[in-house]
């Protein structure tokens, strides 16, 4: 019968494991699809798909799926500016075993926390997170390590840029450049082009136009050599250099080229920034009022449109998050119901098994009880003997004025020591020893003899302690120690 029950349980959990394996494949598929949406710049489908994966992971209790899906959701929330919601998702990731065992996931969580704090303008916290990420990146290997360092340096450079610390910005841009050296130029041409362009812009801001042109030219060379399509940041850097040099017409030409490139690749947010830049540039430099007005109007139209779209996206994302929370609550209820069914099945099997076992156990129970009673009796006698030995040792230690007397007394009578300290926490060890001897009902003469002092000295100490403990003059000192102190301790507790 026992074998049949065990077989039934084994079959049940085998089927459950197969079903969970199929669901895990579905989670992986959803996450892969979510990443395709991300690469295509489709933020809302990316988030919706990641949330579906998270719901499924929650439903089957798949720890790895929960961690990975939550990281996708967190990244999307940070991208739309929902930093606090993103931080909540990161908190959830940290509760998973997958996070605790995977260095790369820990690194990514610190990276995203840094992004969130940067978005909230908590720059020192952001720097701290990126520093913590660096310690984890050291333990990664291969391409994961290189890419993680690249984004880490880039993020730190951005944060120090917000803080106006240009030397730190330069340090982290140069670290990006050094980190790219493991790649062939053609394999990382776009990253090289961006880094060179950023260095060029940095030197423009620092007023070193020679170095600025040197790095901008390197970036332009890569753009032409590898036909890199996205060059609007580079054109903006060139425009800034020409503006600083006083070549306003050339500056205007490259600001216009930057705008045209943004239109070509469909970067509407970048177009909005270019409209604002060109409107201010033409107006502030008194170059062309008509163009300034034209770009101001274009900026207003696109800004209104993008803000409306962004609000809609944010609203839709928030709705998705609310649905996620509702589904998580339903999942918890559903899981509780499933656990109840499983527990009921296992309980029934256990009851059948234990009923079957109980008949056999009854035959042994009597013998065991007799053995236990005999053992308990032996233990009681042994304990009494030990306690008696300890008490005798305590008396001998007192008589010989041994320093270990108070240690053993505290072990045997901890409540008494605690009660005295509750009255006066600053009692000295000599006072505690004196009170302990009184508790053991040693006479004044005995205490004087054992502590090698005069009877008069013992009486003086008793009077001093009477005042400290407010012992009535008509109360016996030893009796008060044995009874009154215990009463005060109980009242205090």
**Tokens coding 338:** 């499933």
Give the position of tokens 């007005």.
Answer: 293
Domain hosting residue 442, numbered range:
396-492
The answer to whether residues 238 and 318 belong to one domain is: no
What burial letters (b/e) apply to 437-456, b meaning 16+ CB within 10 Å?
A: bbbbebebeebbebbeeeee
The answer to whether residues 238 and 311 belong to one domain is: no
Does residue 155 sit within a domain?
no
Q: Which of 248, 266, 284 is the last residue of a domain?
A: 266
Does residue 201 sit within a domain?
yes
3-class SS of residue 220: helix
3-class SS of residue 430: helix
Does residue 302 sit within a domain?
yes
The answer to whether residues 486 and 400 belong to one domain is: yes
Query: How far from chain centre, in Å, is Cα 107?
Result: 11
Radius of gyration of the chain (CA): 39
Rounded to whole angstroms, the Cα distance separating 442 from 395 reads 10
CB of 118 closer than 8 Å to CB of 159 = yes
Does residue 126 sit within a domain?
no
Task: Provide the terminal-to-terminal Cα distance of the chain, rounded to the nearest Å.
Answer: 56
Rounded to whole angstroms, the Cα distance separating 372 from 364 reads 12
The answer to whether residues 200 and 283 belong to one domain is: no
- Dihedral angle computed from the Cα positions of residues 199, 203, 209 and 212, in that order, rounded to the nearest 10 degrees: 0
The answer to whether residues 194 and 230 belong to one domain is: yes
State residue 381's pLDDT score.
Answer: 55
The answer to whether residues 347 and 411 belong to one domain is: no
pTM of the model: 0.60
With a pLDDT cut of 70, the percent of the chain lying above it is: 81
Does residue 379 sit within a domain?
no
Per-residue pLDDT of the chain (493 residues; tens, 9 = 90+): 555 555 555 544 454 555 556 888 999 999 999 999 888 878 888 988 999 999 999 989 999 999 999 999 999 889 888 899 899 999 999 999 999 999 999 999 999 999 999 999 999 999 999 999 999 999 999 999 999 999 999 999 999 999 999 999 999 999 999 999 998 888 999 999 999 999 999 999 999 999 999 999 999 999 999 999 888 899 999 999 999 999 999 999 999 999 999 999 888 889 999 999 999 999 999 999 999 999 999 999 999 998 888 777 777 777 777 776 666 565 555 555 555 666 665 566 556 556 556 666 666 655 656 644 554 454 465 556 657 788 889 999 999 989 899 999 999 999 988 888 888 888 898 899 999 999 999 999 999 999 889 999 999 999 999 998 888 888 899 999 887 655 444 444 4
**Nearest by Cα to 455 from 464, 463, 446:** 446
Q: Which of 266, 291, 315 is the last residue of a domain?
A: 266
Query: How far from chain centre, in Å, is Cα 290?
Result: 54
The answer to whether residues 253 and 318 belong to one domain is: no
Rounded to whole angstroms, the Cα distance separating 469 from 462 reads 10
Does residue 86 sit within a domain?
no
Residue 292 host element (H or E): helix 289-399
**DSSP H stretches of helix in 95-165:** 97-101, 103-119, 123-137, 142-162
CB of 275 closer than 8 Å to CB of 302 = yes
Does residue 448 sit within a domain?
yes
**Nearest by Cα to 71 from 44, 104, 45:** 104
The answer to whether residues 282 and 248 belong to one domain is: no
Query: How far from chain centre, in Å, is Cα 296?
Result: 45
Residue 125 to residues 33, 156, 267, 412: CA-CA distances in angstroms?
A: 33, 12, 31, 53
State residue 489's pLDDT score.
Answer: 47
Q: Which of 220, 251, 266 is the last residue of a domain?
A: 266
The answer to whether residues 236 and 281 belong to one domain is: no
The answer to whether residues 261 and 301 belong to one domain is: no
- Per the structure, how many domains does the chain have? 3
Does residue 35 sit within a domain?
no
The answer to whether residues 272 and 262 belong to one domain is: no
**Nearest by Cα to 258 from 337, 201, 315:** 201
CATH number of 199's domain? 1.25.40
Residue 327 to residues 27, 46, 55, 204, 331: CA-CA distances in angstroms?
A: 16, 19, 7, 52, 6
The answer to whether residues 198 and 245 belong to one domain is: yes
């Amino acid at each position: 019968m026992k074998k049949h029950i065990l077989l039934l349980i084994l079959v049940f959990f085998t089927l459950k494991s197969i079903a969970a394996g199929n669901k895990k494949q579905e989670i992986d598929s959803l996450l892969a699809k979510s990443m395709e949406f991300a690469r295509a710049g489709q933020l809302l489908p990316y988030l919706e798909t990641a949330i579906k994966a998270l719901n499924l992971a929650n439903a089957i209790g798949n720890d790895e799926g929960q961690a990975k899906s939550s990281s996708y959701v967190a990244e999307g929330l940070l991208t739309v500016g929902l930093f606090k919601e993103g931080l909540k998702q990161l908190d959830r990731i940290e509760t998973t075993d997958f996070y605790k065992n995977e260095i790369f996931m820990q690194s990514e969580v610190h990276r995203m926390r840094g992004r969130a704090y940067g978005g909230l303008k908590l720059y020192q916290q952001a720097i701290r997170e990126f520093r913590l990420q660096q310690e984890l990146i050291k333990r990664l290997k291969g391409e994961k390590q290189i890419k993680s360092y690249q984004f880490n340096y880039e993020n730190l450079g951005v944060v120090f840029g917000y803080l106006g610390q240009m030397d730190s910005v330069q340090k982290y841009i140069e670290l990006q450049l050094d980190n790219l050296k493991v790649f062939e130029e053609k394999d990382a041409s776009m990253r090289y082009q961006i880094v060179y362009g950023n260095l060029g812009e940095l030197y423009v801001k620092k007023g070193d136009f020679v170095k600025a042109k040197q790095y901008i030219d390197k970036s332009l060379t890569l753009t032409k050599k590898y036909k890199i399509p996205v060059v609007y940041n580079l054109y903006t850097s060139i425009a800034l250099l020409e503006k600083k040099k006083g070549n306003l017409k050339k500056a205007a030409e490259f600001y216009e080229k930057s705008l045209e490139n943004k239109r070509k690749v469909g970067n509407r947010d970048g177009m909005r920034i270019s409209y604002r830049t060109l409107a201010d540039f033409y107006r502030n430099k008194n170059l062309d009022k008509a163009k300034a007005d034209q770009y101001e109007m274009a900026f207003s139209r696109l800004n209104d449109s993008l803000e409306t779209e962004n609000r809609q996206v944010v609203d839709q994302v928030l709705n998705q998050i609310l649905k996620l929370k509702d589904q998580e609550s339903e999942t918890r209820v559903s899981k509780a119901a499933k656990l109840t069914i499983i527990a009921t099945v296992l309980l029934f099997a256990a009851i059948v098994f234990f009923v079957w076992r109980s008949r056999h156990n009854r035959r042994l129970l009597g013998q065991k009880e007799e053995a236990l009673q005999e053992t308990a009796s032996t233990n009681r006698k042994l304990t009494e003997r030990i306690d008696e030995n300890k008490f005798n040792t305590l008396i001998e230690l007192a008589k010989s004025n041994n320093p270990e007397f108070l240690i053993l007394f505290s072990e045997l009578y901890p409540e008494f020591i605690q009660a005295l300290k509750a009255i006066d926490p600053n009692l000295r060890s000599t006072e505690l020893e004196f009170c302990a001897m009184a508790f053991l009902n040693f006479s004044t003469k005995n205490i004087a003899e054992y502590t090698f002092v005069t009877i008069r000295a013992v009486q003086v100490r008793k009077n001093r302690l009477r005042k400290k403990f407010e012992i009535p003059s008509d109360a016996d000192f030893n009796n008060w120690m044995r009874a009154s102190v215990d009463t005060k301790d109980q009242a205090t507790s």
